[in-house]
Chain A
Amino acid sequence: MTQALFQEKLQVLNIGLSSFVDSITRTGGSVLQIEWAPPAEGQPEVGRTLAQLVNLLSVETANQTAFDAYQSAQPVLSGVGIAGKALPNMGERMILHGGPPIHWKNMCGPMKGAIIGAILYEGWAENLAEAEAMASSGDVAFEPCHHHNAVGPMAGIISPSMPVWMVTNTTDGNQAFCNFNEGLGKALRFGANGPDVITRLKWMGQILAPALQAGVEVLGGVDLKPMMAQALHMGDEVHNRNAAASALFLKRLISALLKTRTPSADVAAAVDFIAGNDHFFLNLSMAACKAMLDAAHGVPGSSMVTAMARNGVEFGIRVSGTGNTWFTAPAPIVHGLFFPGYTTADAAPDLGDSAITETAGVGGFAMAASPAIVKFVGGTPQDAIDNTNTMTHITVGRNNAFTLPALNFAGSPAGIDIRKVVDTGIQPIINTGIAHREAGIGQIGAGITRAPLACFTQAVSALAHSIDDGQ
């Protein structure tokens, strides 16, 4: 090959001193300067570990397997269930929350508020004080939604009697779940737990859920992937903008609802409720993404991320090849635009399981599809395109089902590769809402945040260990 080098035109990648570019270009060689910075946050040891994983055949093959499973997954909305019955290993006195595991005493305000609300909703306590005492007593088990094949936006609270979307990946048969979206304003997911919030949750459980279950039955299931794909062509990125997808879903649902025995007043209330919430589809999008990514989880040696989630204190990721371990770092503050009267000082750190959408190649990764989103998060439509393009450098492939008109219908970049994140320092981008740090105030803005590098550097070390152990 050294001899082969003599037969070829010299083409150089220059890593380090940029002055070396000069002699090469002036004498007719080709050279490209790498904008190098110490990888792995400057930890040489992790950098060495990473170097041994670059272009490693076993990892590439494992990633292809994981990516193919993700790509071929067909998430179908198969029905509406009750969390306590539908979710695997759901305990009687258990409340699920967003993000990686966290102890009650460390939880952020909105999550605590939401848990108190869930206790009241379940009727385990009579009032706020009792509920709070119960939560801190250890009588209630708190576990991440992700540990039960589920996801939930923001606080992500799911208690046993709450209704959940049931989504089945018909390719592999795995199921994923998500709670219902309550709408904007005072909502449990932002930590609100007043009587109006509880009343609405009860209505959702008693009226809305049966109506939706009947409607989904009439429809014989709803293919979610084509609906998401269509929404991407209509200006959604199905994380922070779901206006088109919600409308598409409602369009399908209305005629189905009319064919059920649901009282017409309930149909009207359900339709009003859904029509009044442009984010209604978010929870379906999340469940679909979870179903696709769970199909890709558990491939030994794979460096593909299968979950990113935040609990308001920590940001955590899971990787296909490293089992159920969470790799965590402090949750970042979200940069974005605030509703009038609020500032960064009011914001809770990044919160919720909704980054499952970015993990699945939509949301921030599909920002090019959604020029309208830049109005919420600041920037220009070109920034949206640039953001999507940048993500192609840290992903395993493109999802051919999620095509982006602004990029000449190229697929959306998907399947975050921890090696590439650590090597390039390019952090996965996330479009997200911003919750007030105090319980119950609600959403105070929206913006962009980036997954912390520390999660990925830990994951690289763990993956390398798992590969060494496996050999």
Chain B
Amino acid sequence: MHVQALSIGIQVPPHHFSGTVHSVFRQACNIRIEPQRLLTLLPSEKGNVPHGIRLHTPSQPAFLDLFRVGQPVACRGGILRTDGSDFSVDLRTARLWHIDLQALYVDLGRPIHAQSWAVAWSELKTYHRQDGLPGTMEMPGHSEERSIASATSKILMQQVAHTLPALLRATNNLRLQDAVIAMRPLIGLGPGLTPSGDDFLVGYLTGLWCRVGNVPSRKRFLTGLGSELSQAARTTNQISCAYLRGAASGHVSEPIATLAQQLTQSNDMGSVRAATLAALQIGHTSGSDGVLGLLWGCLVWQPLPCLFSDDLFRPSVYSDSVVNHEILVGACKRYS
């Protein structure tokens, strides 16, 4: 079977690479091209990934039938081939997919941004997964089976409740070492193939990239945090590591990047809502965790005076207070 690639992420080498199949899922196949680097093959109906290749597949491709773990895969002259099968992909026609997060700028001082943020937040509150971080932090949501039994869940909540405020405060104050210390316990933490802590961090960095703007001190901070994260990402699994490293250099997958784009560019709250829901669909809890990270990431370096001063930090309550914050609410009222 010869198929064309629809789009490729910015981290995919275009013409020449060699590797082996790392892992196969019903709708994805990871290829390890260097000891520390993964590429992901995806069917057309899936969103783009910075290290992903979306295939133009006529019907649902049976990835589990097409690939075996350990099977050699190589790209030569723009054609990706799998060893011993007639499955091949032409990468040359693929569109390069990339959303430049640094070009986006979330300014909650602008009423339209604040309104978009509030809409996304309310969608997250309504539709998040109970067993992801938002659920663990006792945000009310629709009930679901809990994958981590209550005892584990409680411990997870305690850790997160301790870590996240510290991370936000350190970020807000541009204290790199403190931020790194606060970030480390999240890596590889929690349920899921891409553990909740990792998904949160991917979202959080997305938010930070959208807050860098032209401020050199923020850029320095984020570059520093990114490089620490790339190192520390070794302590989670290779699949999750690939996403963390992408986020560290400003590249995240399409649903989360699109949501960031909507937060900054949309005048239509329906689109913001749709983009939030799309992002919430990722994986099992990954979507909820990533959206939470993104929305909190958007809060830093904003002129929200009381936000990071409270020692008795309750993340969920606190975020709600942001929505109700007079700056936001007032701004919305004045300009809408």
Direct A–B contact in complex, judged by CB atoms less than 8 Å apart: yes
Chain A contact residues, CB within 8 Å of chain B: 1, 4, 8, 55, 57, 60-61, 64, 68, 71-72, 392, 396-398, 400, 411
| Bound complex: CA A398 to CA B2 (Å) | 8
The answer to whether B16 and A4 touch across the interface, beta carbons within 8 angstroms, is yes
Cβ-defined partner of A71 (8 Å) among B4, B58, B78, B79: B58
Residues of A within 8 A of B18 (CB): 8
Please give me the 4 A-B residue pairs with the lowest Cβ-Cβ distance, nearest first.
Answer: A57-B92, A397-B2, A55-B77, A392-B86
| Complex Cα gap A169–B119 (Å) | 49
A397-B1 contact given A55-B77, A71-B58, CB 8 Å threshold? yes
A57-B93, A398-B1 known, 8 other contacts, Cβ within 8 Å: A55-B77, A57-B90, A68-B58, A71-B58, A72-B58, A396-B2, A400-B58, A411-B1
Binary A-proximity of B37-79 (CB < 8 A = 1, otherwise 0): 0000000000000000000001100000000000000000111
B90 in contact with A60 (CB, 8 Å): yes
**Residues of B in contact, count (CB < 8 Å):** 14
Q: What B residues does A4 contact at CB under 8 A?
A: 16
Centre residue among B59, B79, B86 by max chain A CB count within 10 A: B86
- Report yes or no: B77 in contact with A400, Cβ–Cβ below 8 A: no
Could you give 24 example pairs across A and B, Cβ below 8 Å? A1-B16, A4-B16, A8-B18, A55-B78, A55-B79, A57-B78, A57-B90, A57-B92, A57-B93, A60-B90, A60-B92, A61-B4, A61-B93, A64-B2, A64-B90, A68-B58, A71-B58, A392-B86, A396-B2, A397-B1, A397-B2, A398-B1, A400-B58, A411-B1
Write out the residue numbers on chain B whose beta carbons fall within 8 Å of the beta carbon of A55. Answer: 77-79
A371 → B minimal CB distance (Å): 22
Most central of A1, A68, A71, A397 by chain B CB within 10 Å:
A397
Find the B residue at minimum CB distance from A55. B77
CB atoms of B4 and A64 under 8 A apart:
yes
> Across the interface, which residues of A come within 8 angstroms of B78, CB to CB?
55, 57
- The minimal Cβ–Cβ distance linking B168 to chain A, given in whole angstroms, is 42
Query: In the complex, what residues of A have CB within 8 A of residue B93's CB?
Result: 57, 60-61
Partner of A400, one of B4, B16, B59: B59
Bound Cα distance A60, B5 (Å) = 12
Which residues of B have CB within 8 Å of A64? Answer: 2, 4, 90
Report the separation of the CA atoms of residues A452 and B58 in the bound assembly, to the nearest whole angstrom. 33
Interface set, chain B 1-59, CB cutoff 8 A to A: 1-2, 4, 16, 18, 58-59
In the bound complex, residues from chain A placing their C-beta under 8 Å from that of B16 are 1, 4
Task: Fill in one digit per residue for B76-88: 1 if any A CB lies within 8 Å of its CB, else 0.
Answer: 0111000000100
Residues of B within 8 A of A400 (CB): 58-59
Taking CB atoms, residues of chain A closer than 8 Å to B58 are: 68, 71-72, 400
CB nearest to A63 among chain B residues = B2
CB distance from A9 to the nearest CB of B (A): 8
- Chain B residue numbers with a CB within 8 Å of A60 are 90, 92-93
What residue of chain B has the Cβ atom nearest to residue A61's Cβ? Answer: B93
Q: Mark interface residues in B92-116 (1 if CB within 8 Å of A CB, else 0).
A: 1100000000000000000000000
User: From B65, which residue of chain A is reached at the shortest CB distance?
Assistant: A408
Please name the residue on chain B nearest to A408 by beta carbon.
B65
Complex-state Cα separation, A60 to B92, whole angstroms = 10
Least CB separation from B34: chain A residue = A7
CA separation between A15 and B192, bound complex, in Å? Answer: 49
Most chain B CB within a 10 A radius of its CB, from A64, A392, A398 = A64
Mark contacts of B215-242 with chain A using CB atoms, 8 A cut-off: 1 yes-contact digit, 0 otherwise.
Answer: 0000000000000000000000000000
Contact residues in A for B86 (Cβ distance below 8 Å)? 392, 398
Collect the chain B residues with CB atoms within 8 Å of residue A71's CB.
58
B94 smallest CB distance to A (angstroms): 12
What is the CB-to-nearest-CB distance from B1 to chain A, in angstroms, rounded to a whole number?
6
Report Cα–Cα, A4/B76, bound state, in Å: 12
**In the complex, residue of chain B having the shortest beta-carbon distance to the beta carbon of A30:** B72
CA distance A57 to B18 in the complex (A): 21
A57 to B79 alpha-carbon distance, docked (Å):
10
| A residues near B77, Cβ cutoff 8 Å | 55
Bound-state Cα–Cα, A230 to B58, Å: 21
A61 to B4: give the CA distance in the assembly, Å.
9
CA–CA, A61 and B79, complex, Å:
13
Minimum Cβ distance to chain A for residue B199 (Å): 33
Minimal beta-carbon separation of A29 from chain B (angstroms): 14
Residue of A nearest to B1 (CB): A398
B 161-189 contacts with A by CB, 8 A? none
Q: Smallest Cβ distance from B301 to chain A, in angstroms?
A: 41
Tell me the bound Cα distance from A4 to B33 in angstroms.
12
CB closest chain-A residue, reference B93: A61
CA distance A411 to B59 in the complex (A): 13
Inter-chain CA distance A64–B6, complex, in Å, is 13
Cα distance A71–B86 in the bound complex, in angstroms: 17
Chain B residues near A398 (CB-CB < 8 A): 1, 86
Chain A residues with CB under 8 Å of B92's CB are: 57, 60
Taken together as a complex, chains A and B put the C-alpha atoms of A71 and B2 apart, in Å, by: 13
Q: How far is B79's CA from A102's CA once the two chains are assembled, in angstroms?
A: 42
B residues within 8 A CB of A411? 1
With A and B bound together, what is the CA distance between A72 and B16 in angstroms?
A: 32
* Shortest Cβ distance from residue B172 to the other chain A in the assembled complex, whole angstroms: 43
Instruction: With both chains docked as a complex, state the minimum distance between the C-beta of A69 and any C-beta of chain B, in angstroms.
Output: 12
Give, as a whole number of angstroms, the nearest-CB distance from B179 to chain A: 35
Residues of A within 8 A of B1 (CB): 397-398, 411
B72 (CB) vs chain A CBs: closest residue = A11
Tell me how far the C-beta of B208 lies from the nearest C-beta in chain A, rounded to whole angstroms: 34
Q: For residue A68, which residues in chain B have a CB less than 8 angstroms away from its CB?
A: 58
Cα distance A411–B65 when bound, in Å? 13
| CB neighbours of B90 from chain A (8 A) | 57, 60, 64
Least distance between B87 CB and chain A CB atoms (Å): 10
Across the interface, which residues of A come within 8 angstroms of B2, CB to CB?
A: 64, 396-397
B80 shortest CB reach to chain A, Å: 13
Residue in B closest to A398 when the chains form the complex, CB atoms: B1
The complex places the Cα of A311 from the Cα of B23 at a distance, in Å, of 53
Residues of B within 8 A of A392 (CB): 86
Closest Cβ of chain B to A347, distance in Å, is 35
Q: For the complex, what is the distance from the CA of A411 to the CA of B4, rounded to whole Å?
A: 18
Q: Which residues of B contact A396 (CB under 8 A)?
A: 2
Q: CA–CA, A4 to B74, complex, Å?
A: 13
Min Cβ gap A419→B in Å is 13
Query: Chain B 254-279, CB within 8 Å of chain A: the 1/0 string?
Result: 00000000000000000000000000
Q: A72 contacts which chain B residues (CB < 8 A)?
A: 58
Taking the closest CB of chain A, its distance from the CB of B131, in whole angstroms, is 38
Complex alpha-carbon distance, A55 and B2, angstroms: 13
- Give the residue name and chain of the A residue nearest to B88 (CB): A397
A321-B292 Cα distance, complex, nearest whole Å: 53
Shortest C-beta distance, A302 to chain B (Å), equals 14
- Across-interface contacts of A1 in B (CB, < 8 A): 16
B22 → A minimal CB distance (Å)? 17
Q: Closest B residue to A389 by CB, please name it.
A: B86
Cα distance A55–B78 in the bound complex, in angstroms: 9
